[in-house]
A and B are shown apart, each in its own frame.
Chain A
C-alpha cells in the first residue's frame, strides 16, 4: 500500500468521524436543509469531473466529461440555492405577510 493511499484513507476516516460529530448536533428542525446542504457539498465531484475531463481526447471521453460536468454543476448550484431558499424561511418570530407571498 502506497503512502499516498494511506494518507487518503487517514483523511477519509478522520473526515467521517468529524462528520458524525458535527452532524449529530444538527436539530431535527433543520434536517431537510442539512440534507440539501450535504447534497451541494457532494457536488464537489465537479472538481473531479473537471480534473478527469481534461484528459479526454475522444468522442466518448468528451461525452462522458460533458455529462459529468452537467450533473455535478446542477448538483452544486441547485443544492446551494435551494438550501439558502429554505433557510431564509426559518424565522424566530412570525413576520407580517411580506413581499414574498407564499403560494397556496
Chain B
C-alpha cells in the first residue's frame, strides 16, 4: 500500500535563534529593545556625553541646548547622561533577582519533583506559605534591618519571588519526570543527578527562560519602586527609579521631562520583557505538546 503523506510535524528547536524567530515580530522587536538596553547598561559611562554626577544648580530643569539634547535634571546634571548611566543599576538589580530566583527555584522545584513524598510536601508547604508575600514589603523590612541599598532590596525580592518561580517549575519538573525517557534512563542505571542535569533541566529550559524573562519585568518594576521610595539605590547614583523621585518636584513646576524620561525608559524595557516573556512562554507550552 502506498504511504499517505503525514501532516507536517512541528520541528524541534535546534537553536535558540529558531526559538526567538518563532516568537513572531513582536517577540523579535522586544528582543532587540532588550539587547539595546543591555548594551547601554554595559557601556553606560562610555556612551554618556557628559558626567552624570556633576551639575550646576543654575542649570536646574533647563531644557534642551546644544550638547545636551535632553536638557538637565533638577540638580543641573545632564539628563541624557544620567539616563544612560542609570540603565546599569536599573538592569543589574533585576538580573541578580532573576538569576537567584531561577537558580534556587530550579533546585527546589526539581529536587521536590524528583524526590516527591515527605520532602516534596515539606518544600511545597514552605513555598505556599511564602508564596504571595509582597516583595516590596519584604524589601522595606530588609531596608530597615540592613540599611537602604540595592543589595538588600535585591535579596529581599529574590526571597519573595522564589516561591512563585519554584511552584511553576515544579509543575513542569513533575511533568518531565513522568515522561518515558526518564524511566528508560533510570532503568539503564543513570544516577538521579545526571538525569536531572543532563536531561530534565535542559528539557525545561524553554520554560525556565520564559519564566525568567517575565520575572525580569516584575523585578524591574519592583526595584525601581523601591529606589523611588529611597530604600534601594541611593542618590546621587543615577537610577531610573531614583530619578523619578528626585525630579518629581519638577513635574509640578512645569518641567516634566526629567522624571518622565526615566519613567518612559522603565516602561519601554518592561513592556519588551513582558512581550518577549509571554511569547516565549507560549512557545514553551506549544512545544511540550
Q: Do the two chains bind? A: no
Chain A contacts to B: CB under 8 angstroms? none
